[in-house]
Amino acid sequence: MKIKRIIDISRRIKPGMTVWPGDSGVNFYSKSSIKDGDVCNVTGVDMGLHTGTHIDAPLHFFDPLHDIASLDLSLYIGYVNVFELDVRECITEEDIKGLDIQKGDVVFFKTGNSQISEEKEFDKDYIYLDKSASEFLFKKGVKTLGIDYLSIDGYYSEGFHSHNILLSNGIGVIEGLCLKDVKPGRYFFSCLPLKIEGADGSPVRGVLLELE
């Protein structure tokens, strides 16, 4: 089986990028610089662990559950089914119960969020995962869920039900995917986290492999 195309599904990390309200944003700073006479360039970065395309560890909402370094990596690499949903406010069970979703599947949902510019100010009215949809996915036995904005729960939602349902049951959560140019279908994917001990999340370089 040959790789036909590699599709980058990651947000570009840079100062001024869209982040969750209240997060510190992204700041690069120089530790050493060739132009200043140093032997090499060394850059530091100050940013939150939930910046851009990222993974939530159970520790994000449950203390002392698994940190990012202790997660099962099989949740973040393998085959994935990408579904495109025509929904407005949120994804409900009714929207996905007719999809071919089987136990052990990894599923990515492409929604109208994919049309929101990465340069735009944070959009509080993004499409999110309703509690009924999260419960449905848990009952179906999915392995990992990915969505195309910075949270699976709504900005105005109370209780963070989707995070609670999925993370407490060992289901992988990937947020901030860039799926604008991705057609529905089956791909091989990789969204591996950094091995940061004690961390509640990690940015990832997410890719889809389109296979011949």
**What whole-number distance in Å separates Cα of residue 7 and Cα of residue 179?**
9
* Dihedral (Cα; 158, 164, 166, 168), 10-degree rounding: 180
**What whole-number distance in Å separates Cα of residue 5 and Cα of residue 69?**
30
State the DSSP H helix or E strand holding residue 140, giving kind and residue range, or none if neither.
helix 131-140
What is the chain's length?
212
Show Cβ contacts of residue 5 under 8 Å, excluding neighbours closer than 6 positions. 209, 210
**What whole-number distance in Å separates Cα of residue 62 and Cα of residue 180?**
32
Active site residue 161: no
The one catalytic residue in 50, 60, 161, 163 is 60
The residues assigned a catalytic role are 60
